[in-house]
């Protein structure tokens, strides 16, 4: 079973027929193995937008009048999919439309946001306050390889991902041995394993249903306003 770093390193040595410890591996040290692991793990964990690398961040607070915020630590660029400030939901728009809106409606209070690079921008005229809660995709940071019991994002549920890490590491060993054909074969196997995990997750997406939320707001043409602004409860009292 490939569950933690020790399992993965041992399996790499076994497949290379290099014994079961770095001491008996004929030149492949623990330092080398850990370096290969970090490279392979960085590749595998960011290969797709895995469901198990989705995260919520609520470490920032909205500052009234402030438009520009740093992306949450370790979030992938452009990956904020849903943003709330306090109890208010903000609508994500593309950067060009956001800029045009800010120019054409300099006092507009629409609850919208956008992002560019490693920054995101909230319409600072919106009447909102509270904690900023962002849902998006994070990139796992390098693990502490001094702890051989450390697990990966694939451990316990998606062991094929750890298998892909092993194959990738074996491929690095083949690069070291200048065996380009075998390198390509191991890299291709690693990719195929991750593609299999991804396809399984895609097959499960059928269970998700889209709730009817409407694409457009209803407008009172005669009144010249949104319907929800003109028809208010108890307005005649």
- Read off the pLDDT of each residue in 167-192 and give the average, rounded to a whole number: 96
The predicted structure's pLDDT at residue 211: 63
Instruction: From 127, 130, 198, select the one nearest 161 (Cα to Cα).
Output: 198
pLDDT digits (tens, 9 = 90+) for 188-213: 999 999 999 999 888 777 666 666 65
Q: What is the average per-residue pLDDT within 143-160? A: 92
Average pLDDT of the segment spanning 140-162: 91
User: What are the tens digits of pLDDT across the range 25-34?
Assistant: 568 999 999 9
- Tens-digit pLDDT profile for residues 225-235: 554 454 444 44
Contact present, 161 and 193 (Cβ < 8 Å):
yes
Q: Where do the H-state alpha helices sit in 46-116?
A: 95-104
| pLDDT above 70 for 68 | yes
Rounded to whole angstroms, the Cα distance separating 83 from 148 reads 37
CA distances from 209 to 13, 67, 169, 205, 206 (A): 46, 34, 39, 9, 8
Residue 210: predicted pLDDT? 67
Q: What pLDDT shows up at residue 202?
A: 82
pLDDT at 157 over 80: yes
Would you say residue 72 has pLDDT above 80? Answer: yes
pLDDT in tens, 13-25: 999 987 666 544 5
- Tell me the pTM: 0.76
pLDDT value of residue 201 = 84
The average confidence (pLDDT) of the chain is 87
Q: Tokens 């399992």 identify what position? A: 7
Residue 104 reports pLDDT greater than 90: yes
Confidence (pLDDT) at 205: 72
């Amino acid at each position: 079973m490939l569950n933690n770093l020790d399992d993965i390193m041992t399996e790499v040595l076994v497949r290379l027929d290099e014994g079961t410890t770095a001491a008996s591996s004929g030149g492949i040290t623990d330092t080398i193995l850990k370096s290969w692991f970090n490279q392979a793990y960085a590749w595998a964990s960011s290969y797709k937008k895995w469901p198990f690398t989705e995260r919520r961040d609520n470490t920032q607070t909205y500052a009234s009048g402030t438009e520009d915020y740093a992306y949450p630590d370790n979030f992938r660029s452009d990956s904020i999919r849903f943003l709330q400030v306090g109890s208010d939901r903000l609508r994500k728009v593309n950067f060009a439309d956001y800029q045009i809106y800010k120019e054409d409606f300099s006092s507009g209070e629409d609850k919208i946001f956008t992002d560019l690079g490693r920054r995101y921008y909230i319409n600072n005229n919106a009447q909102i306050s509270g904690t900023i809660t962002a849902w998006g995709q994070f990139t796992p940071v390098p693990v502490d390889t001094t702890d051989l019991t450390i697990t990966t994002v694939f451990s316990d549920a998606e062991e094929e991902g750890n298998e892909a890490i092993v194959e990738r590491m074996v491929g690095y060993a083949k690069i070291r041995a200048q065996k380009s054909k075998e390198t390509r074969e191991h890299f291709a196997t690693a990719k195929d394993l991750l593609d299999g995990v991804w396809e399984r997750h895609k097959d499960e997406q059928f269970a998700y249903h889209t709730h009817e939320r409407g694409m457009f707001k209803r407008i009172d043409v005669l009144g010249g306003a949104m319907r929800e602004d003109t028809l208010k409860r108890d307005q005649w009292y």
